[in-house]
Amino acid sequence: MILEKGTPAPEFELHSTPDQKLKLSDFSGKNLVLVFYPADWSPVCGDQVSLYNEMLSIFRKYDAEILGISVDSAWCHDAFMENRKLHFPLLADFNPKGEVSAAYGVYNEENGTSKRALFVIDKEGIIQWSYLSPDGINPGADGIIDALESLTQKQ
């Protein structure tokens, strides 16, 4: 089951590059959008992360950062980020495979990938919104923006 609103976001530490790691707690004091997705080079995933890349300035108006997470390796992420000219980190939930995705309730045991899911986490590390998208559907950004607007009204 996908983690729901009001749940403390599970801590993690994942590779953002082959030689660097990021932790959830590195973003303490900021709103955070976690984007779990199946694979770097799939058409829907590419469109989805490219959309979020174009919206970075809007997310940052809500004092929010964005992180993408899939089971692809850090090397694969590097190539994908360069190809798509992405300006936010992609994290490798690679070893042990899918551990962070499973902690958030979005690991697909059947095919060994992350499901397509979104989480908005507040500055205190509490999930304020989550969404599990149907397979093959780009969830867009409307839900993220609505959740961030709601958060900033409370803060």
Enzyme catalytic residues:
45
Structure token digits, residue 13:
């530490």
If we measure between CA atoms, which residue out of 127, 123, 131 comes closest to residue 152?
123
88 contacts 55 by C-beta, under 8 angstroms? no
Side chain identity at residue 5, one-letter code: K
32: DSSP letter? E
